[in-house]
């Protein structure tokens, strides 16, 4: 499995950086975003380092999206959401910030405005761990 020593998501996958994990298997990991658009904003990543959709093998991309669906269902149930946004960005022009393939799973509530970059604030791991426990209970 290939990793990038400068990639924060690779460090999370290798347990060299903290995270609030909601799902993990041999190929995919899902953890809460530390700068969430809303409570429950989860990132689903391939464990192996690929920058984006253009270079990840199709079979692994399929696994990432299968887990994204599982996480989406759990997030909706855990947070009593009315819907879910599933977003995957590729390249600077698409607003990709971390260049490691990841899918954003963001619970949505009717009438809720989704925060944008400058409105996002870092959330502490104590709070993230509480939210992660709620989500894990539905996976």
Catalytic annotation, pick one of 102, 104, 109, 138: 102
The whole-angstrom separation of Cα 27 and Cα 24 is 8
102 catalytic, yes or no?
A: yes
Q: How many helices (H) and strands (E) does the chain have?
A: 3, 5
Q: What burial class does residue 69 get, using C-beta atoms within 10 Å of its C-beta: 0-12 exposed, 13-18 middle, 19+ buried?
A: middle
Provide the annotated active-site residues.
102
């Amino acid at each position: 499995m290939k990793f990038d020593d400068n990639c924060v998501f690779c460090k999370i996958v290798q347990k060299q950086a903290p995270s609030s994990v909601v799902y993990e298997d041999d190929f995919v990991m899902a953890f809460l975003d530390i700068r969430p658009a809303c409570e429950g904003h989860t990132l689903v990543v391939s464990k192996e380092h690929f920058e984006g959709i253009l270079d990840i093998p199709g079979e692994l991309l399929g696994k990432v999206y299968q887990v994204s669906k599982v996480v989406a269902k759990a997030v909706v149930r855990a947070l009593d959401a009315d819907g879910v946004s599933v977003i995957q960005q590729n390249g600077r022009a698409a607003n990709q910030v971390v260049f490691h393939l990841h899918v954003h799973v963001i619970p949505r509530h009717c009438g809720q405005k989704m925060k944008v970059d400058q409105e996002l604030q870092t959330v502490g791991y104590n709070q993230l761990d509480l939210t992660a426990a709620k989500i894990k209970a539905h996976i």
